[in-house]
A and B are shown apart, each in its own frame.
Chain A
Amino acid sequence: MADDLYSVLGVARTAKAEDIAKAYRKLAKKLHPDLNPGDKAAEDKFKQVTAAYDILGDTEKRRRYDLGEIDASGQERPQRRYYREYAGGEDGARYRSTAGYEDLGGFSDLFGDLFGRGGGARGAGGQRFAMRGQDAQYRLEIDFLEAVNGAKKRITLPDGGTLDVTIPAGVEEGQVMRLKGKGMPGLGGAEAGDALVEILVRPHPVFKREGEDILVEVPITFDEAVLGGKVEVPTINGNVSATVPAGTNTGKTLRLKGRGIKRKNGKVGDELVKLTVVMPDRIDDDLKTFAEEWRDKHRYDPRRKLREQA
């Protein structure tokens, strides 16, 4: 049921009775089920509009609706009972506070005797001001692989206490973890604050990440580039063997499916292996002779496109 019957009919709260009737007839003509066979939406709307008109079209019902005595479905709305009606009763006792009698000097003893207070001000069954504890902020620096695979860490707090933090796999730099109830204690029975732990991730010499994917650069030899073959590739879960296709160039990227970050929510990333062809440290005579002979018979031009487009 709509909250506001006037908006159902599209009229102002101050609309005259005949305008309301006019608005209703206009909508009813448009929405009537017999004029819209098979249109369920129109039928529902028609019912809504009619129900609204049943109330707004009736002077007495409209008056009571405006006063809040009946709700949009025409039901009697229960009279609101204000908090003050409960506050003095048994149910309200736990909220009542009588903090702040200390300044009554000698009389406070009398009050204390009369109302059974211990030294401090405290009402019969009442509570003092309650406030949730403050949140406490910490920073935790972890290794790249701990961030990627998840880990359990322990923070030592300034007061000597400790805080155990379970790092979920795939946590990101700057992410803040909220540990419920591990902050400062609350006052007057309210709950403790939370501990907010900001995660800092130390970079890794080999791995980088992009979302759930892990990026790694792997050098291959000149002959592996030409002939192809198996090479050993590091992943976040140890080395695996990857196949380099024959004729691989620097910059070619292999995708190792499912070798990236495995999130708890089931998301799994890949590892992207960027290959770089690396010449031997010393070019010996064999290679030199081979290259010269090969060049004479198999000249090719990798820079043609570059020239044309520059």
Chain B
Amino acid sequence: MLTEGDIVARVQHVTVTRLRVWVRAGWIRPVAKAEQGFSEADMARAALIRDLEDKLGFDEDQVPVLLNLIDQIHGLRAELKTMLEALEDLPEDVRATVKSRIAKNTPRKSR
């Protein structure tokens, strides 16, 4: 587990104040409420928010919208991955059936 101090020391340009604002806003949700509550994912997320604000120039009204979309994408990706893994386990002929169904239902890209 990482502390506030660890995050601030390891993610450049993130101050304790900034980090607390993000936690208060619910953008970063430490696992534990106590001070030593941050994970590696939280730290990477802090770096992401810093990039959104500092490097990409989004303001604080826009950041939650982006985070929401990013979180949705990762949610969908995780479920897609689960589905694909499940497909992988199916017998060859069932996989072939699914594959042809998918091909049939995929709209052609218009050029």
A190: B residues at CB distance < 8 A: 24-26, 29
B interface: dominant SS: helix
Nearest-neighbor residue (CB-CB) of A187 within chain B: B26
* Interface members, chain A 22-64 (any B CB < 8 Å): none
Knowing A91-B40, A92-B41, A130-B26, the reply to whether A80 touches B72 (Cβ < 8 A) is no
A96: B residues at CB distance < 8 A: 71, 74-75, 78
B42-75 interface mask toward A, CB cutoff 8 Å, 1 = contact, 0 = none?
A: 0011011000000000000000100010111011
Question: Interface residue count for A (Cβ, 8 Å)?
Answer: 37
**A186 adjacent to B79 (CB under 8 Å):** no
* Interface members, chain A 81-105 (any B CB < 8 Å): 81-89, 91-100
B70: A residues at CB distance < 8 A: 83, 87
Question: Interface residue count for B (Cβ, 8 Å)?
Answer: 27
Count A-B pairs with CB separation below 8 Å: 94
Say whether A208 faces chain B, with CB atoms less than 8 Å apart: no
**B41 adjacent to A87 (CB under 8 Å):** yes
Knowing A97-B68, A123-B78, the reply to whether A191 touches B24 (Cβ < 8 A) is yes
Say whether B81 faces chain A, with CB atoms less than 8 Å apart: yes
**A86 adjacent to B72 (CB under 8 Å):** no
* Interface members, chain A 119-150 (any B CB < 8 Å): 123-124, 126-127, 129-132
B94: A residues at CB distance < 8 A: none
Say whether A203 faces chain B, with CB atoms less than 8 Å apart: no
Say whether B76 faces chain A, with CB atoms less than 8 Å apart: yes
Say whether B77 faces chain A, with CB atoms less than 8 Å apart: yes
Distance A201 CA – B29 CA, assembled complex (angstroms): 40
CB proximity of B92 to chain A, nearest CB, Å: 22
Knowing A97-B68, A132-B26, the reply to whether A86 touches B44 (Cβ < 8 A) is yes
Cross-interface CB contact of A189 among B26, B81, B82, cutoff 8 Å: B26
Distance A81 CA – B26 CA, assembled complex (angstroms): 22
**B71 adjacent to A83 (CB under 8 Å):** no
Distance A91 CA – B44 CA, assembled complex (angstroms): 11
B25: A residues at CB distance < 8 A: 131-132, 190
Knowing A83-B48, A88-B77, the reply to whether A99 touches B40 (Cβ < 8 A) is no
**A98 adjacent to B26 (CB under 8 Å):** no
CB proximity of B80 to chain A, nearest CB, Å: 10
Nearest-neighbor residue (CB-CB) of A193 within chain B: B24
Knowing A87-B74, A97-B72, A131-B64, the reply to whether A81 touches B79 (Cβ < 8 A) is no
Say whether B39 faces chain A, with CB atoms less than 8 Å apart: yes
Say whether A174 faces chain B, with CB atoms less than 8 Å apart: no
Knowing A97-B71, A130-B29, A190-B25, the reply to whether A86 touches B41 (Cβ < 8 A) is yes
B14-54 interface mask toward A, CB cutoff 8 Å, 1 = contact, 0 = none?
A: 00000000001111010100000001110011011000000
Binding site for A on B (CB under 8 A): 24-27, 29, 31, 39-41, 44-45, 47-48, 64, 68, 70-72, 74-79, 81-83
Knowing that A83-B44, A86-B41 touch, tell me 15 more A-B residue pairs with CB under 8 angstroms.
A82-B44, A82-B47, A83-B41, A83-B45, A92-B74, A94-B29, A95-B45, A96-B75, A97-B68, A97-B71, A99-B75, A126-B71, A126-B78, A190-B25, A190-B26
Per CB-CB distance, the 7 closest pairs between chain A and chain B, nearest first, are A190-B26, A130-B26, A86-B41, A96-B75, A91-B41, A87-B74, A98-B75
- 25 cross-chain CB contacts under 8 A: A82-B44, A82-B47, A83-B41, A83-B47, A83-B48, A86-B45, A87-B77, A89-B41, A91-B40, A95-B41, A95-B45, A96-B75, A97-B74, A115-B79, A124-B79, A126-B75, A129-B64, A130-B27, A131-B64, A132-B25, A188-B26, A189-B29, A190-B25, A190-B26, A191-B24
